Structure 1
């Protein structure tokens, strides 16, 4: 799963490399936009599905350690990086508006993740497949019944929370059902491969821009499970780079957007408009600097950015690494 998580993080960074520079007047080449759209129905859906697969084991912990872990590893880095982005990167008064701290920009994923983990113990007796269906049902009602569109404010956030909540609890069902261990079996690969192919053909022939649509979650899930199965069959020598990113996925995810913004601000300040410099730098810098942050994340000087420190009289300040869990 770390391999796919690392692959998805690379896709997330690439997607933001394409979508954010236009805010600064830099338009991405057409081929980059096409790649971004190609993977749009899979990257965040895949990350949320994998995060849900970690839920069953997490729920075996006592409630105290369970919630402390989620506060330290999810809520804390959310607020740290929201503060960095709002106060140091954007540098405008929006940080004084409480609404700015709700699902802040790219951190919406971590915000939702904490919300799902927060309610999960209370829903532990409800089958995960039923929870997934209930969340997607809520998304259908909001989108088709109430006419709500995806967005970043108000009830649009609730629509997104319902849509991605379905993937989170579907991931928990995939783990609980044992399907996660059968993904590399030939029969499972055939079934998920047919689903992935059917979805791709539908997109190519009818609607290429299908994403964030609850009516097509079957295609997203089938494709993600197919890719997971393929990655499990990869020779071991191809896995380590992606696994390394996947094991520190929160580090890369939380840090990449401020790095992209700061790079754009630097280029705009010095008047550089070279397309290769803009987009190569916007992709390479988050990966390289993310790797450095991941390497030093166990140091208290870096670790506090991603895990809430705990003070022990014996050990002093203690931090540990985390995934986007």
Structure 2
């Protein structure tokens, strides 16, 4: 069903920038939400976090879905091997590592219930990877079923009255499979993004709509509404970012976007444990607690990511059987694996 000949060699810098911005928004979100457990944050920050909710993770899933058609061209085994080594493997490994760290921090060493953490407890910090594993598995159906049909089915499934994270799982799936449907037409989509005025209007409309929703509660909050907001914001943001995506001043954000999974995995422990120490061992003013915690959640993960790029022993923590030598910068001829 899916065919793509439009990608060609090379990365899309605008995709890396958007992905990097989304991961930075994740770090900001978790910084503010964890600080709320200890103190009242700056009043405006929780509102900003709520505004970013339909724009943050759904955009990451949509971007991940856009890469699926290219990955499927490797064949079923090549596709599965990449996802098993670069998504499932770090998901399992780091779920265990974080569970053990939490047990040690609580002063009670208990080996985690791995099955429960991986497949039932979606509130763990690595739920993004868990969802991706399942979406990539479902995406194999796209060889025979159009991804938009799966997206429509996901909308229906999200509306079933089932408790837990059911609605969130299928809402994110809608964004992912819209991305899968868009992937084969990347060149045409980029030509559409050349209309800067329209993209600016879409970006502004989505931002204003979600701001009104959070400030006044006047907008509906169903799955269809969220998907419309997500897609509108994504298209607008992509059009605004694309002309400047290759600029040198954006290279740090592009780097974070190229290494999304590593930074995402590492940000949580580097936020949680320094924050626990600062709140229990010192009287750090709130105005300093927020920026310090944010930097802890971003700078050390990036440093470890750089080390993983250079040393295979470090890369083993994020990929099963990584290459013996890895270039400092991703090859322009290699497909993006997420």
Which of 84, 105, 111 matches 1:71?
A: 84
Are the counterparts in 1 of residues 209 and 219 from structure 2 also a CA contact under 8 Å?
Answer: no
What is the CA–CA distance in structure 2 between the aligned matches of 1:29 and 1:201, rounded to whole Å?
Answer: 18
What is the CA–CA distance in structure 1 between the aligned matches of 2:238 and 2:57, rounded to whole Å?
Answer: 14
Tell me what 1:95 maps to.
112
1:156 aligns with 2:167: no
What is the CA–CA distance in structure 1 between the aligned matches of 2:290 and 2:203, rounded to whole Å?
Answer: 33
Tell me what 2:149 maps to.
130
What is the CA–CA distance in structure 1 between the aligned matches of 2:52 and 2:301, rounded to whole Å?
Answer: 22
What is the CA–CA distance in structure 1 between the aligned matches of 2:24 and 2:215, rounded to whole Å?
Answer: 27
Which runs of structure 2 are paired with 1:30-179 in the superposition (5 Å)? 30-91=43-104, 92=108, 93=110, 95-96=112-113, 98-102=115-119, 103=122, 105-140=124-159, 142=160, 146=161, 148=162, 155-178=163-186, 179=188
Tell me what 2:4 maps to.
none
Q: Say how many residue pairs are matched.
A: 309
Aligned residue for 2:39, secondary structure, equals: coil
Shift of the 175–98 alpha-carbon distance from structure 1 to 2, 3 Å rule, reads: closer
What is the CA–CA distance in structure 1 between the aligned matches of 2:218 and 2:125, rounded to whole Å?
Answer: 23
Long gaps (5+) in structure 2: 1-14
Structure 1 residue 160 displacement after superposition: 2.0
Structure 1 stretches of 4+ moved >6 Å: 208-212, 320-324
1:20 aligns with 2:50: no
Structure 1 residue 195 displacement after superposition: 4.7
Question: Relative contact order, CA 8 A, sep 6+: which one is greater?
Answer: 2
Aligned residue for 1:106, secondary structure, equals: coil
Aligned residue for 2:270, secondary structure, equals: helix
What is the CA–CA distance in structure 2 between the aligned matches of 1:239 and 1:290, rounded to whole Å?
Answer: 18
Tell me what 1:245 maps to.
256
Structure 1 residue 206 displacement after superposition: 4.3
Deviations 1:126-165 (A, max 9, x none): 111111111112112x2xxx2x4xxxxxx52333221111
Aligned residue for 2:244, secondary structure, equals: coil
Shift of the 191–273 alpha-carbon distance from structure 1 to 2, 3 Å rule, reads: closer
Tell me what 1:180 maps to.
189
Long gaps (5+) in structure 1: 149-154
Which of 190, 199, 211 matches 1:189?
A: 199
Tell me what 2:273 maps to.
262
Shift of the 120–8 alpha-carbon distance from structure 1 to 2, 3 Å rule, reads: same
Structure 1 residue 189 displacement after superposition: 1.9
Q: TM-score scaled to structure 2, two decimals?
A: 0.82
Shift of the 272–202 alpha-carbon distance from structure 1 to 2, 3 Å rule, reads: closer
Which deviates more from structure 2 when the two are superposed, residues 47-56 or residues 179-188? 179-188
What is the CA–CA distance in structure 1 between the aligned matches of 2:279 and 2:41, rounded to whole Å?
Answer: 16
